[in-house]
Chain A
């Protein structure tokens, strides 16, 4: 028995030492996984498009950005909330920031309609749940829609925590007042949303909403470029994001 005890102690020390070494490696790996709230450094990509919306400059009742976007992209107007398709719109602060809705809000914040659009998240839940890859993330951070591949399952609409997506419940063409040939329309049965005007960005133009706004409410640019205007605005102004606790990492910031 004594001999066996020695052997047992030898072996168990070895095993425990080995397990300790292995688990130290494991914990090194898993600590990194838990750091989801720190900034995602995806160094290979050179562009991450982002937008800052300065609500202090936004004028009550003005909808120029909405009109510009919807006209340039052939977004239909059905006149009823059930079939409604919207890429960018205005809503109450309490609806755009439900988790930040507090008592004794400054009246200016509480009563002013806030702009709402797709946040082009860095960790988009809609992209994760899409079964066909019809919605996907581009190299420049834009969450795009491939209307040719969408099967209309609307899972992305269920997954989006911001309500940014609309579905074509019927043929949109009869409800488009002035069809422009600059951009296709969509057809019944596919989901659509703001695309950060990727077709304009490719030609070196600003997104339609950004370009149209007379008050310069919207600042658009490359979040990875430390010297860009958008980074300057973010540095000099306190900003908030929508539902940051959900881990989606939005690319849209608000100055309230």
Chain B
């Protein structure tokens, strides 16, 4: 079945070539990072996690969002999602893979990565994150591939796939909850030390994932002559709308608790992000851009429910993805380190090497996604 990914028109191979070029640049930059050390990035003693961990956090959400199509289709027999489920699963596979790659890129001693398995420490949430992320990757690739292959053969999928799919539904919730626990359990960082972090992660994941699926559907319509169905897209847009509303509600709730209680520790990170602190305000434009675009996109989505328009839908989905990428990645991760535990404001900006490694890993994800979707679309079109 994989041979279907090797057949394509000029445009397809052009896209693959572009991705490979970006990957090559990323590999070159990573080699520089390996020889010099992580000092080639913009991270430092005070902001010790940066773009890599931000991408990881965002992408775990994307991976988890597959549950939003798997659950209705398999658990509630929502047949309209018939063509989009496999796309959701393959999106989860690509996202989960590059999650792990971003973690690897961020490690100071990547050659010791297997120590997490050789010297297990169940008290550490990282231990659990490694288990659930790899498990989720396995669940999705196995179930997605098996079901697709059965479709290609024209038979029904084997019985053992069903429990795996049900497991993946529960597992999806767990991967993003565990990732949220990475942050929500640390006592020193007030921006993260909130019970609402896990629910907020899930809400933003369920807003971004379906939005991405909608965008992918339109791309497939245009370039692969494959239509997942108007009903599926409409349903997805409904899911995104509700999830985005919940997400911005959570943002509002955070603001209230911080600023009404007036507790300095709770306020400082949000002050730095949205208003500047100690004269440092590098991220302020980013955060307001994210808020304005995000809320505007939600409004467009709401309007779009009454008066459907693919133009508006595409705009709003792009807006949701961009807004929440900034909010979850930059806002949450960088904001957690500013101010430092000693109340110092140190700013962070990624370097060229950091950015190219990031783009390279994104390109790897897109390459995997492209290949998998090529196979899926070919099989579904022939069926």
Interface magnitude class on chain A: 35 or more
Q: Does B2 contact A (CB under 8 A)?
A: no
A252 to chain B, nearest CB (A): 15
Give A148's nearest chain B residue, CB to CB: B112
Is the beta-carbon distance between A162 and B109 smaller than 8 angstroms? no
Q: How far is the CA of A82 from the CA of B45 in the complex (A)?
A: 6
Q: Per a CB cutoff under 8 Å, which of A129, A158, A247 touches B48?
A: A158
Is the beta-carbon distance between B44 and A162 smaller than 8 angstroms? no
Q: Inside 8 A of A161's CB, which chain B residues have their CB?
A: 186-188, 341
Interface magnitude class on chain B: 35 or more
Q: Does A155 contact B (CB under 8 A)?
A: yes
Is the beta-carbon distance between A150 and B109 smaller than 8 angstroms? yes
Q: Does B124 contact A (CB under 8 A)?
A: yes
Q: Inside 8 A of B82's CB, which chain A residues have their CB?
A: none
Is the beta-carbon distance between A130 and B124 smaller than 8 angstroms? yes
Q: Which of A132-172 contact B (CB under 8 A)?
A: 132-134, 149-155, 157-163, 166-171
A117 to chain B, nearest CB (A): 12
Q: Does B294 contact A (CB under 8 A)?
A: no
Is the beta-carbon distance between A153 and B121 smaller than 8 angstroms? no
Is the beta-carbon distance between B187 and A149 smaller than 8 angstroms? no
> Which segment, of A44-52, A95-103, A221-229, faces chain B?
A95-103
Q: How far is the CA of A116 from the CA of B110 in the complex (A)?
A: 31
A93 to chain B, nearest CB (A): 11
Q: How far is the CA of A166 from the CA of B43 in the complex (A)?
A: 12
Q: How far is the CA of A82 from the CA of B186 in the complex (A)?
A: 23
Q: How far is the CA of A83 from the CA of B343 in the complex (A)?
A: 19
Q: Per a CB cutoff under 8 Å, which of B116, B187, B346 touches A151?
A: B116
B140 to chain A, nearest CB (A): 24
Q: Per a CB cutoff under 8 Å, which of A81, A116, A243, A246 touches B44?
A: A81
Q: Inside 8 A of A168's CB, which chain B residues have their CB?
A: 37, 108
Known contacts A129-B125, A166-B45, A246 near B39 by CB under 8 Å = no
Known contacts A99-B265, A131-B124, A133-B119, A152 near B107 by CB under 8 Å = yes
Q: Inside 8 A of B127's CB, which chain A residues have their CB?
A: 131
B277 to chain A, nearest CB (A): 13
Q: Inside 8 A of A132's CB, which chain B residues have their CB?
A: 112, 115-116, 118-119, 121
Q: Per a CB cutoff under 8 Å, which of B48, B116, B343 touches A131?
A: B116
Q: Inside 8 A of B113's CB, which chain A residues have their CB?
A: 151
Give B45's nearest chain A residue, CB to CB: A84
Q: Inside 8 A of A163's CB, which chain B residues have their CB?
A: 46, 340-342
Q: How far is the CA of A152 from the CA of B130 in the complex (A)?
A: 15
Is the beta-carbon distance between A153 and B188 smaller than 8 angstroms? no
Q: Does B344 contact A (CB under 8 A)?
A: yes
Q: How far is the CA of A122 from the CA of B328 in the complex (A)?
A: 33
Q: Per a CB cutoff under 8 Å, which of A82, A96, A157, A171 touches B37?
A: A171
Q: Inside 8 A of B37's CB, which chain A residues have their CB?
A: 168-171, 188-189
Q: Does B160 contact A (CB under 8 A)?
A: no
Is the beta-carbon distance between A152 and B38 smaller than 8 angstroms? yes
Known contacts A82-B44, A95-B342, A158-B48, A151 near B107 by CB under 8 Å = yes
B102 to chain A, nearest CB (A): 12
Q: Besides the contacts A98-B342, A128-B123, A150-B108, what 6 more A-B pairs have beta carbons closer than 8 Å?
A: A129-B185, A150-B109, A151-B108, A163-B342, A188-B39, A190-B108
**B binding-site residues for A, Cβ under 8 Å:** 36-39, 43-46, 48-49, 103, 106-110, 112-113, 115-116, 118-119, 121, 123-127, 130, 182-183, 185-189, 264-265, 336-337, 340-344, 346
A-B contact pairs, 21 of them (CB 8 A): A81-B44, A96-B342, A98-B264, A98-B342, A125-B187, A129-B125, A133-B119, A151-B108, A152-B112, A153-B106, A153-B107, A157-B48, A159-B187, A161-B341, A167-B48, A168-B108, A171-B37, A189-B107, A190-B109, A246-B188, A248-B187
5 residue pairs, one from A and one from B, having the closest CB atoms: A152-B108, A161-B188, A189-B108, A169-B39, A82-B44
